[in-house]
Amino acid sequence: MLTCYIIDDEPHAIKSLRSYIEKTPVLELAGSSENPLEAVRLFEQSGKYADITFLDIDMPQISGTELSMQLKSKTKIVFTTGYANFALEAFELNAYDYLLKPFSYDRFLKCVTKIQEGETKAIPSRKAADFLYIQSEGKGKLVKVFFDDIIFIESQKNYLSVITSEKKYLTYLTLREMEEKLPSGFLRINKSTIINTDKISHVDGNQAYLQNLRQGFTITATYKEAFTIHLEQHLVKTKRSG
């Protein structure tokens, strides 16, 4: 069971997040506050911090990013905000996740799962499968496809094309059904395409180019945030001025 605390100056935002927490069996709401400074005082007086703190960024008393500097060693920070332009700053502060309001329960659950998986990393477990089976080339035939071999996956009406380094497979699945089975190295970049980020050769503006393929794949606005976060996590930047 993971305890949660909400800090947000908007009552309706607290109410919405509380409802998500209450219907998630692995979570327990420890409290909430509309005043970030008051919340910090309560933490310090009691000496108790929640496992996860859902923290708004744009608040009048003190910004969530400033507050996170005081809290990050004591609790797992998940930023919640209505402004997408804070995403890069949030991840530079090593936040566990960044939820852009209004976010769905599915998106919230992905965040919780990500934190849970981090909690259990030290526990020995069986190696996760590095492949999947898909039905292709005939109704009774199952084809084994290794994740490392997949370059991209594309929706084509009622079917998916799974493009590997050697072959193209057609399977009767939706993009969402496939997405649920893929590991974290795969990203959806537009309505009809999932790419394997290990296969990216370069990025030019809103176009991602994959190995040995000439055409670029468009990264649309809906999926831009997640792709930008991926880039920032792997980007080497100079700290020199000028």
In-domain check, residue 242: no
Domain final residue pick, 53, 87, 119:
119
The most distant pair of C-alpha atoms in the chain lies apart, rounded to whole Å, by: 66
> E-strand spans in 111-182?
131-135, 142-146, 150-156, 159-164, 168-171
Q: Is the domain of 140 the same as that of 105?
A: no
Q: Is the domain of 105 the same as that of 157?
A: no
**Coil, helix or strand at residue 89:** helix
Q: What tens digit of pLDDT does each residue of 182-238 get?
A: 887 899 999 999 999 999 999 999 999 998 788 899 999 988 888 888 888 888 877
Q: What tens digit of pLDDT does each residue of 155-191 get?
A: 988 899 999 988 899 999 999 899 888 887 899 999 9
Q: Is the CA virtual torsion 205, 96, 114, 235 positive or negative?
A: positive
Q: What tens digit of pLDDT does each residue of 22-52 get?
A: 999 899 999 999 999 999 888 888 888 999 9
**What value does the CA radius of gyration of the chain take, rounded to a whole number of Å?**
21
CATH number of the domain where residue 104 is located: 3.40.50.2300
92 or 118: whose pLDDT is higher? 118
Q: How far apart are CA 164 and CA 68, in angstroms?
A: 42
In-domain check, residue 151: yes
Q: Is the domain of 147 the same as that of 71?
A: no
> Is there a contact between 65 and 95 (Cβ–Cβ < 8 Å)?
no
In-domain check, residue 125: no
Domain final residue pick, 119, 141, 166:
119
Measure Cα distances from 170 to 161, 176, 213 in Å. Answer: 5, 16, 19
Tell me whether residue 179 is exposed, middle or buried, using C-beta atoms within 10 angstroms of its C-beta: 0 to 12, 13 to 18, 19 or more. middle
Q: Is the domain of 30 the same as that of 111?
A: yes
In-domain check, residue 59: yes
- Quote the percentage of the chain above a pLDDT of 90: 44
